[in-house]
Structure 1
Amino acid sequence: MKALFAAVVLAAGATSALAQMSPVGLWRSVDDKTGESKAEIRISEPGGALQGRIEKTLRKDAKPDAVCEECTDDRKGKPMAGLEIIRGGKKAEGKDVWEGGKILDPENGKEYRASLTPIDGGKKLEVRGYLGPFWRTQTWNRVQ
């Protein structure tokens, strides 16, 4: 009986660890230039493709009724809280990286090709936005 219990506990722990090596969850974005926490983003995977929405902004000067003024698509004028900033992206075959999607920078309204890679055992998420041959990377922290 003890062996069965131990096996169940170990299996549950392994499943939990595997689930953490995914971008799905709640993340705190950190400005790569200032180190300031910017927002909490909830990433989900409905239908097998990533979707990420701002749950709340964390900047000291953030207005609670702020909207995406710089957006140029269907998100223009939408509230920052609930704004979809990640669209698409699927797990690359044989790798712990999700790619093929887009990420929006609501501060400038630009959308970039994106790749998301869980690192540090899934505690951090490397978020890379590409524009042509250039890229910028931020490291987000998982919110417990």
Structure 2
Amino acid sequence: MGGTKQTKRLHEDDGDAHERDEAMGIEPLDVVAMQQLLESMGADKFEPRVVSQLQEVVHRFVTEILVDAQEYSMYADKQTIDTDDVRLAIASRLNHHYAQVPSRELMMELADKRNSLPLPPISNEYGVHLPPTQYQLITKESDRQDLVGD
């Protein structure tokens, strides 16, 4: 969507210049990067709020990863977070929060194994099938006092 608009580097933000930047046509670098990412995936037309929603998701994800990495770093009695802590936080979050889709080959193998078992025969009887009389509480043979265990 961008193109001729100027971009603003992340370190150039002075806090109160948001309205001035919009009037001058300057967009933050992360907005331009998100727009380019969407366009590279084939989304040529999208509403402007899609970019801000994706930025929220990315911000939340990165924040959670960094908090987890900080906890791993503190557990290891380190003063700073290093790349191993971040990698461990990412791997942990991916393993626990996102389902891994099994491969097609594995699913076909499981389906062949399940489908190799014959189906149980269909009964020719009709009506409601009740359990044996010793397990029925509505028959005369059942004694509730035996079940309670006086």
Q: TM-score normalised to the size of structure 2? A: 0.20
Flag the structure with higher strand content. Answer: 1
Task: Kindly name which structure, 1 or 2, has the bigger radius of gyration based on alpha carbons.
Answer: 2
Q: TM-score normalised to the size of structure 1? A: 0.20
Q: Greater relative contact order (Cα 8 A, min sep 6): structure 1 or 2?
A: 1
Flag the structure with higher helix content. Answer: 2
